[in-house]
Amino acid sequence: MIDRTPKPIVLGIESSCDETAAAVVDGSRNIRSNVVFSQLDEHRPFGGVVPEVAARAHVQYLDGIVARAMREADLSYADLDAIAATGGPGLIGGVLVGTTMAKSIALAMNLPFIAVNHLEGHALTARLTDGIGFPFLLLLVSGGHCQLLSVEGVGQYQRLGTTIDDAVGEAFDKTAKLLGLGYPGGPALEKAAMEGDPSRFTLPRPMVGRPGCDFSFSGLKTAVRHKVASVEPMSPTDVADLAAAFQNAVAGSLTNRCANAITLFEGAHGAGRPFVAAGGVAANQTLRAALGKLAESRGMPFVVPPPALCTDNAAMIAWAGVERFRIGAIDGLDFAPRPRWPLDPAAPKAVGARAKA
């Protein structure tokens, strides 16, 4: 039974990409509502997210999504303690829509406004779902990001590794497109891989065996393209086998880089701290299993939020708002949304890395 009194109670808004979402979460880790409108149908004809289409959809749907979240939480705006919204990184048009809505409610109701880093929303989700303490090691894997971070507190992150080219989710989507699996690519590729033989095709496992914790996936994507060209026209069996081989190669690369990060993290914080995977790609069951096996071998609790809280949602933004409210991290209404917003601004850029948020 939900306690009706825990504070703070925060409304969160997420609009950084192609999900229009609002949620209400309280300080006792109760998700009182979590409403997500997916724009898949709007973007499917284009084979990917179109920023202008996404921003227009946010404008069209966000007010109704917020109203529904408040109804499902059975609360009025007067019951809230703060309004949180994704302030970046992301598609700037969508971020502007969400922050403008949140600022408007905050101004009208005389409530604090909290700008949340979208990546911090993912990073802190395991504290919402499992109540883990700081510090913990985080693998953040999504369509736009692939990072290993030491999470030492709210707003306190040390980046241990990042991608030097493609994010892993981007590699999934582009590989799915090469295989003719449609959009969204990640779930489609995972489904195809379930029927495939991962040993039929040999693919590279990028960065495996190298020192450090950085990632690379562009070469793996290129290798898949060459395999596709070598077997065209592809049969359903070819597609399934290549999907399985790609997924296994990603798992091998991720676990190798994470093993290096665990060694670094344990050197600073000792053994037995949690290892967390978050972000949309963390919903992939094969990757979760491989990472879980690694964590078990190193004596670390392995925590992954439920799939619905790995993909973009507003509950994570509301919870990050709760966490930031508690330490007094309130923003002014003059906050400027940010298309790029690294969690660890002081971290050196990986050699060869593209500019990533």
Q: Which CATH superfamily is domain 135-300 in?
A: ATPase, nucleotide binding domain (3.30.420.40)
Query: Of 87-91, 144-148, 182-186, 238-242, which gets the smallest average pLDDT?
Result: 182-186
Does the structure show a pLDDT above 60 at 16? yes
Same fold, 9-124+309-326 and 135-300: yes
- Mean pLDDT value across residues 316-339: 97
Strand partners, 150: 137, 158
In this predicted model, what pLDDT tens digit does every residue of 250-261 receive, in sequence order?
A: 999 999 999 999
Band the pLDDT of 54: cuts 50, 70, 90: confident
Question: What pLDDT, on the 0 to 100 scale, is given for residue 340?
Answer: 92
Question: Which amino acid is it at 228?
Answer: V
Question: What pLDDT, on the 0 to 100 scale, is given for residue 264?
Answer: 97
- Mean pLDDT value across residues 268-281: 96
Question: What pLDDT, on the 0 to 100 scale, is given for residue 357?
Answer: 44
C-alpha distances (whole Å) from 235 to each of 226, 232, 240, 291 are 16, 8, 9, 31
Helix (H) or strand (E) holding 296: helix 285-297
Question: What pLDDT, on the 0 to 100 scale, is given for residue 109?
Answer: 97
Residue ranges per structural domain of the chain? 9-124+309-326, 135-300
- Mean pLDDT value across residues 318-341: 96
Topology of the domain comprising 9-124+309-326: Nucleotidyltransferase; domain 5 (3.30.420)
* CA–CA distance, 213 with 158 (Å, rounded to integer): 13
Question: What pLDDT, on the 0 to 100 scale, is given for residue 162?
Answer: 96
Does the structure show a pLDDT above 50 at 2? no
- Mean pLDDT value across residues 241-252: 97
Mean pLDDT over all residues of the chain? 92
- The DSSP 8-state label assigned to residue 349 in this structure reads P
**Is residue 319 classed as helix, strand or coil in its secondary structure?**
helix
